[in-house]
Amino acid sequence: MREKRWFAPVYMFIVTAMFSSVVIGFARRTQNLVEANARLALETAVLQVIPQLYSEDASRLELHRIFVEQVSEPTDESGGAYVYKKDSRIEAYAVPFSGRGFWATISGVVGVKPDKKTVTGIAFYEQSETPGLGAEITKPAFKNQFPGRILAQKAEPLKMKRPGEPLAENEYHAVTGATQTSTRLEKIINDALVLWREKLEKGGGTN
């Protein structure tokens, strides 16, 4: 039977169907978990840039609860940013950004105070940069530069500088050895911030 001409395609078809159905079944079973992980990563990132809400010790579940209770989803009024409101007054913005990094998409959020120019932090929830190089953007050494930066009102809100160079109030140091990641990230963040400000002005989102 192995020599028959119809055997090879039929065999391939059966084997493929068998293995694929197992994989599909398996993927279905874990789908919710995978989606929940992605959602949690986003929520955690948003909370990380809102210092009033974030605590290092909080478990994933606690973080999820805080997010659901305190953070409002992006609206036109907020310029597409996540918002933390207290007594219906805006306390913090978390501006999401996303774009192509060196290997794949880099997504994250920048936290901004209600004055719309003081940065409270940066966090990432999706990136596939080179471990040890581009992926250093997710490390505290890089991220801790952001809180306290003041967004420039003209041209690029944030600017990167070579490590070691003196910094102005809207500047931060790039990652050594990861020029591509740094350059692309600078553009991604700035595009998102500029768009956010435009939307805010249009939406009349003054408070």
Binding site for another protein (CB under 8 A): 2, 7-8, 11-12, 15-16, 19, 22-23, 26-27, 30, 33-34, 37-38, 41, 103-104, 126-128, 130-133, 135, 176-177
Do the beta carbons of residue 81 and residue 73 sit within 8 Å?
no
Measured from the CB atom, is 11 or 52 closer to another protein? 11
Q: Read out DSSP for 21-86?
A: HHHHHHHHHHHHHHHHHHHHHHHHHHHHT-TTT--TT--HHHHHHHHHHHEEPP-TTTTT-EEEEE
CA distance 177 to 103: 15
CA distance 7 to 144: 62
CB of 176 vs another protein, minimal distance in Å: 6
Measured from the CB atom, is 72 or 128 closer to another protein? 128
CB of 119 vs another protein, minimal distance in Å: 24
Do the beta carbons of residue 143 and residue 127 sit within 8 Å?
no
CB of 46 vs another protein, minimal distance in Å: 16
CB of 2 vs another protein, minimal distance in Å: 5
Measured from the CB atom, is 126 or 191 closer to another protein? 126
